[in-house]
A and B are shown apart, each in its own frame.
Chain A
Amino acid sequence: MDNEEQSETKFSKIMNSQIVGEPRLMNSRLAREPGLVNSRIIGDLESMDDFAAEMEKVENALPRHLNADPEKMEQGLAKLVLTVVDLLRRLLEKQAIRRIEGGSLDDEEIERLGLAFMRMEEKLEELKLAFGLENEDLNLNLGPLGDLW
């Protein structure tokens, strides 16, 4: 990809939601339309790379379609299941923290919960390793609510 195409791709990632009311609709060729995109941007243009990277994260937060490749399907399924398990673990952990902060758990209960969460985290790490997944793979963008974590 040459520099011009790279620049157009960045514009596209940043501008797509303005043009079509939702992400994902543009590709690099759109920015070639005279006056449609490039002439309508002001601001810190030197940070285009950073803006494009963040928009890409938003766009890629959820898979657009199921990958039917048998070799990838297993990983996709593992990603989905582990994301849900990790979500539940984090929610339970936050609830436990609130209860600790509220003083409603005694020493023994805190220790027991802490050990349970520790082991759950260790097990999740093992499974992520087994399926070739990174932490970022288990994050979800919840739209207006932001990232899962």
Chain B
Amino acid sequence: MTFTYWYAVISHATGAGALPNSWGPGLYDLPLRCVVQGELAGVVSDWLGKPVSRSSDSVDPVLVVRHEQVVEQIMDDVAVLPMRFGTILHGDEGVQAMLAERQATLKADLAHVAGCVELGVRVLWEPPAPVTPAPEPAPLPTPVTTPGAQYMLRRAAEEQTRRAGQAHGQALAAELDRTLRSHAIDARLTVLQTERLLLSAAYLVRHEQTPAFETAVEGLRAAYAQLAFLCSGPWPPYHFVSA
């Protein structure tokens, strides 16, 4: 049984013929090659058969870096759909089968990301403190004197506070996203993934728009001094490859 390590998908037209030396070598210094299927090509190399871990505890950073470097070198020359680190299939036939099965989707993705890079934005906030006294809950049918009803009344007040905080966070994240999205052609957002992580987003930005996007981030930093921003990139468009 042979295994094939898969780095990226490119158009067959751009992947035909010998691959540029600048793209390789791949993991373990093995040469890169193209596996063609229809109008697409997978950039791959042999895989030595060792298991690969995606856990940060045990992954070999040298392999991660090499994977990233290969994808970025390809991205410098042609439109690319990056594969996740550790994508290993049963031989080139496995790559061809997947390219055949998902040809239409991957072609659409490739067209979508052409000329673009991914920029990551993360925003922290301090969740609003519970209002004191707690917001008035919906009135209970009669005055509360019993322990069960008192418990429910307290829970209802807490729930209302939580909902209000979430609504505030969602609205704030939407405001930030509106500004950033005006410089991007697509985005993947996660709001309030943790209590403090207000926004975690990947934006697909045309390469030439990158400075404008970063300026927009700086503008938001100035306008929302109570928030903390981190913007990273450019990266290959990992978040814009259909699952």
- Determine whether A88 belongs to the interface, using a CB cutoff of 8 Å to chain B: no
- Type the 1/0 row for B192-224, where 1 means its CB is closer than 8 Å to any CB of A: 111111001010000000000010011001000
Number of contact residues on A: which range applies? 35 or more
Most A C-beta atoms less than 10 A away, residue of B56, B118, B137: B56
- Type the 1/0 row for A36-79, where 1 means its CB is closer than 8 Å to any CB of B: 11001111110100110011011100001100000000000000
- Type the 1/0 row for A1-42, where 1 means its CB is closer than 8 Å to any CB of B: 000000000001011111111111111011001001100111
B228 to chain A minimum Cβ distance, whole angstroms, is 4
Q: Collect the chain B residues with CB atoms within 8 Å of residue A132's CB.
A: none
- Assess the B151–A115 pair: CB atoms within 8 A: yes
- Assess the B230–A18 pair: CB atoms within 8 A: no
Q: Collect the chain A residues with CB atoms within 8 Å of residue B120's CB.
A: 15, 17-18
Instruction: Look across to chain B and name the residue whose beta carbon is closest to the beta carbon of A54.
Output: B197
* Interface size of B in residues (CB-CB distance below 8 Å): 58
- Determine whether B19 belongs to the interface, using a CB cutoff of 8 Å to chain A: no
Closest 9 CB pairs of A and B: A114-B148, A21-B238, A115-B148, A111-B148, A47-B228, A114-B152, A44-B228, A101-B138, A43-B230
Question: Which of A's residues lie within 8 Å of B, judged by CB?
Answer: 12, 14-27, 29-30, 33, 36-37, 40-45, 47, 50-51, 54-55, 57-59, 64-65, 93-94, 96-97, 100-101, 103, 106-107, 110-118, 141, 143-144, 146-147
